Every structure is written in C-alpha cells, then in structure tokens.
Amino acid sequence: MDALDQLIGVLAKLPAIGRRSAERIAVRLMTDPARKLVKQLADALQTADRNIASCRICGLLTERDRDPCRICSDPRRDRERLCVVEDPGDVLALEQSGAYRGLYHVLGGRLSPMNQEGPADTTVDRLLERVRQENIGEVILALNTGVESDATASWLKHLLEAAGARATRMGTGLPVGSGISYVDSLTLQRAFEGRR
C-alpha cells in the first residue's frame, strides 16, 4: 500500500467521513503550500493525545490537569440531576443546546442483545454508585434512538430504579436511528422537555 492510500484509509475510519471525503482531505493536505496544514494537524493531534483524558467521575473528555472535569467541578450545576449519554461527543451537543444544567455520566457504549455485549461493567457500576452516594433525584437517559439504544435504556432504567433513582428517558422528536450529536439544539431542547 502506498503512503497516500494509507493516509486515505486512516481518514476514512473517522466518523462522518466516507471514502470520497477522505480522498479530498488527503489531497488537500498533500497539496497545501509548504505542508503547513499537515504540521498544524500533527501538532494538534500530538497535543491532544498528550493532554486529553477522561474525567474520573463522569467520563467526559477533559484536560489531564483538570480532573474532575469543569462540569463535575462547577458549583453552579444542578447536582441532583444526572444525564446519561452514550458518547462524550453527545455532551458537546447537549451543552450547546443549553437545555440542561445538571451533571453527566458517559456510558461509553450500549447494550447489544444480539451479541450479548454491553457497555463496560465498570462504567455502569460507577453510575449506580454515583446514584447511591451523590443524592441524585433524577437520572435522564439521553441515549440515541434505535434498537440497541432502546434495549440499553430499558435495562438501565431497571437497574437505576432498583438503586432508588427516578429514571426518565429523553422524549420523542429525535429522528429514528440518529445520534444525539447530529440533532439541532431546538430538537434537543424539546426532547429534554418531553422526557418521561
């Protein structure tokens, strides 16, 4: 495999980038005057790799020297509400929508009944532990739509209620099969208000 193919192959693994986009990005990078963009991209990737970690409480992406993250350590956040998301990227969309002012918990996956796989036990255990210890009144399941996310939501609801929390699911209005990160702010606000 030559170097250009290799670059295109790696780029095509990124979310929302198909083969054609990967080709266009690769060509753009390699024809950039003095390869300035290549250097900036390489620097930004290395810096991010060195400095970004997961918050030890909620699992959000944070600077290594800011752990717990800025949301977990913000005294103005509503500490009686916990919003469970599948992916750290979902939090960016929810924060941008301004629909929510509570805390988060990143699941890092979902239950797949077909192959008996679920999110890592540790993140679920940590979620239940937070619910028991942090005086959480409501846990909002802000999961994506689709069969596996639905299965994950019912399974979590059961566990959360057994742990003594009120579990609600973000309401309708989210397009079927869609990820939260792809939905606009207004739709997210409505889905939050319509939770049940």
User: Can you give the binding site for Zn ion, defined by CB under 5 A?
Assistant: 55, 57-58, 60, 68-69, 72
Residue owning tokens 């509503």: 78
Q: How far is CA 190 from the centre of its chain?
A: 19
> Does residue 10 sit in helix, strand or coil?
helix
Answer whether the bond into residue 68 is a cis peptide, omega within 30°: yes
Q: Give me the least distance between CB of 151 and Zn ion, in Å please.
A: 26
Nearer to Zn ion, 45 or 48 (CB): 48
Nearer to Zn ion, 57 or 167 (CB): 57
Nearer to Zn ion, 104 or 192 (CB): 104
Q: Give me the least distance between CB of 144 and Zn ion, in Å please.
A: 21
Q: What Å distances lie between residue 172 and 92, 123, 151, CA to CA? A: 20, 26, 16
Q: How far apart are CA 134 and CA 115, in angstroms?
A: 33
Nearer to Zn ion, 59 or 179 (CB): 59
Q: Give me the least distance between CB of 124 and Zn ion, in Å please.
A: 17
